[in-house]
Amino acid sequence: MNTSGLISRRRLLTGAAAAAGSAAAGSLLSGCNAGSSGSGGSVTLTAMFSAEDLPKETIADFEAKNPGIKIRFLQHDPARLSAMLASGNPPDITIGGAVGSANTNARGLAMDLTPYLEKSQVLKKDDLHPVNDSFRWDGHRIGQGGYYGIVKDWSQDATLWYNTALFDQAKVPHLSDSQPMSYDELLAVAKRLTVKQGGSTKVFGLGVEWAWSLYAPMATMVLQQGAQLYSADLSEVDFTTTAARRAFSWYVDFAKAGVGPTSLNPLPDGSDMSTFSAKRMAITQDGYWFGGNFIKDSALNKDIRMAPAPLMGDRRISPCYSGQGAWIPAKTKHKNEAWKFMEYFIAGPPAQERAKSGWGLPSLKSLLPKLPQDLPYQKQAHKVAQSELQYLAPLPDSPYVTADAWNATLDKHLQRVIKNKQTVDAACAAVTDEINKLLKQGKERIG
């Protein structure tokens, strides 16, 4: 990954969410030619990735190590990917999120990688971290069955990063490295850290990356309370439960407290990174990868620390909201060559460099020792991240609705409640009705 500038979580992951939404819509756009046989018996493999994940140097290295395979690079484009999938002529390998892959798998668009994993000398099932379980599909739900993708890197996305200097100025004790605080405690701390001046906010106490996701953190809050969002067959949702209303209410309280950005009070760039870097945000809810932004910022990295994911309930969960990884479309004409590239990308030099960079946790257990610990803040974050590994749990993922649809619906009704145009109970009932309509439509579409 290119680490030359500050990178926001939204920039990293929005493309994947858009891809899932685009695929679910079933685009009828015409496709374009994908993999083909090259001159002299070589195979041309079409890879649709971001330029950050697949730079020219990586392509050249793979081709040098695999002289019979040429890479045709396509910049990742959700609309184009959907068109190519719909036309039956997809790229040979592409990128996407493990969380949210249920729709792709239910539609039969991805190839089962399990037979290749069982024979591979490079990628082994027992080396895969459980985050890869969100890429598994048994024909009905994620978490079991075959592997339909492999995560390249990931983070515990509900963890906290905070600026100790801003805590000291507000005379607020630093957060624990091992014991999570409750969401209610987090909001109380955020109020103490928020600094208002002349009718504007000088320092935000807390950022929750509102513009990037509402569904994933609320789903986590529900699971932490021992409840479920979906029915057993993932075709219905009940957002009127006590657990769901509590999660929704917390976001209302957060917004009304004025401690951080919301869709009604957004940041100019839609993410916390630049505001946190400018020392105008005391805490941001972001994953391990966020620390990669500060490697060269010695003035700031001496003051930043990572803390465990907060709790709403008794069950400790530190989730992954996406888990970007590679998957091979079922209709590729070059399955073996695509797998060879998968091995290289997930376990070869690119994977080792990603691990060393600190821009995310590798999904292979064998690569975890390569994470950077050169700087004090890296050592501290590494310790917290390692401790959080045991609390990973997959987020609920219905094949019949996208996270984008959830986010839009939740945000619409949050705004209405924040503006006192709707009660929490009415909002949660409306969310239930609207998502259930989408679930019904999605189920009818997939069959």
List pLDDT tens digits, range 66-77.
999 999 999 999
Whether 16 and 129 map to the same domain: the answer is yes
First to last CA, the chain: 38
In a domain, 4, yes or no: no
Token output for 94: 């592409």
The shares of helix, strand and coil residues in the chain, as percent rounded to the nearest 5, are: 45, 15, 40
| pLDDT-derived band at 447, boundaries 50, 70, 90 | confident
Whether the per-residue pLDDT at 389 is higher than 60: the answer is yes
Q: For residues 243 and 249, give the distance between their C-alpha atoms in angstroms, rounded to a whole number.
A: 10
Q: Map 41-100 to HEC letters.
A: HCEEEEEEECCCCCCHHHHHHHHHHCCCEEEEEEECCHHHHHHHHHHCCCCCEEEEECCC
Kindly report, residue by residue over 187-226, the tens digit of the pLDDT.
999 999 999 998 899 999 999 999 999 999 999 999 999 9
Specify the DSSP class assigned to residue 358: T
| 3-class secondary structure, 303 | coil
Whether the per-residue pLDDT at 16 is higher than 50: the answer is no
Token output for 99: 């969380």
Query: What is the gyration radius of the CA atoms in the chain, in angstroms?
Result: 22
Q: For residues 27 and 23, give the distance between their C-alpha atoms in angstroms, rounded to a whole number.
A: 7
Q: Decide if 151 contacts 98 (C-beta within 8 A).
A: yes
Residue with tokens 């999120």: 97
Q: Name every residue whose Cβ is closer than 8 Å to that of residue 233 and which is 6 or more positions away in sequence.
A: 140
Q: Name every residue whose Cβ is closer than 8 Å to that of residue 279 and which is 6 or more positions away in sequence.
A: 163, 165, 166, 203, 300
Q: Residues 19-47: what's their mean pLDDT?
A: 54
Q: For residues 401 and 123, give the distance between their C-alpha atoms in angstroms, rounded to a whole number.
A: 31
* Residue 129: domain span: 9-155+321-363
Whether 30 and 124 map to the same domain: the answer is yes
Q: Residues 262-283: what's their mean pLDDT?
A: 97
| pLDDT score recorded for residue 199 | 87
Whether 24 and 165 map to the same domain: the answer is no
**Of the listed ranges 28-37, 59-68, 414-423, the one predicted with least confidence:** 28-37
What is 305-348 written as a DSSP string? EEEPPPBSSSS-----S--EEEE-BTT-S-HHHHHHHHHHHHHS
Q: Strands 43-49, 93-97: parallel, antiparallel or unpaired by DSSP? A: parallel
Whether 248 and 350 map to the same domain: the answer is no
Mean pLDDT of the chain: 93
Specify the DSSP class assigned to residue 260: S
Whether 284 and 335 map to the same domain: the answer is no
In a domain, 380, yes or no: no
Whether the per-residue pLDDT at 34 is higher than 60: the answer is no
Whether 359 and 395 map to the same domain: the answer is no
In a domain, 377, yes or no: no
Q: Strands 195-197, 324-327: parallel, antiparallel or unpaired by DSSP? A: unpaired
Kindly report, residue by residue over 17-26, the tens digit of the pLDDT.
444 444 443 3
pTM above 0.85, yes or no: yes
What is 398-417 written as a DSSP string? -TTS-HHHHHHHHHHHHHHH
Whether 103 and 187 map to the same domain: the answer is no
Q: For residues 408 and 265, give the distance between their C-alpha atoms in angstroms, rounded to a whole number.
A: 16
Whether 314 and 325 map to the same domain: the answer is no
Q: Decide if 248 contacts 238 (C-beta within 8 A).
A: no
Whether 124 and 163 map to the same domain: the answer is no
Whether 53 and 197 map to the same domain: the answer is no
| pLDDT score recorded for residue 40 | 52
Q: Which amino acid is at 17?
A: A
Whether 313 and 417 map to the same domain: the answer is yes
| pLDDT score recorded for residue 25 | 38
Q: What CATH number corresponds to the domain at position 255?
A: 3.40.190.10
Q: Residues 371-390: what's their mean pLDDT?
A: 98
Q: Residues 407-416: what's their mean pLDDT?
A: 99
In a domain, 420, yes or no: yes
In a domain, 107, yes or no: yes
442: closest CA among 108, 85, 25, 100? 25
Whether the per-residue pLDDT at 37 is higher than 60: the answer is no
In a domain, 194, yes or no: yes
Q: For residues 45 and 48, give the distance between their C-alpha atoms in angstroms, rounded to a whole number.
A: 10
Q: Residues 228-244: what's their mean pLDDT?
A: 98
Whether 239 and 331 map to the same domain: the answer is no
Number of compact structural domains in the chain: 2
| 3-class secondary structure, 174 | coil
Residue with tokens 């890479």: 71
In a domain, 258, yes or no: yes
Residue with tokens 């091992």: 178
124: closest CA among 144, 147, 145, 143? 147
In a domain, 378, yes or no: no
Q: For residues 141 and 328, give the distance between their C-alpha atoms in angstroms, rounded to a whole number.
A: 19
Q: Name every residue whose Cβ is closer than 8 Å to that of residue 155 and which is 6 or more positions away in sequence.
A: 286, 287, 288, 289, 290, 320, 360, 361, 385
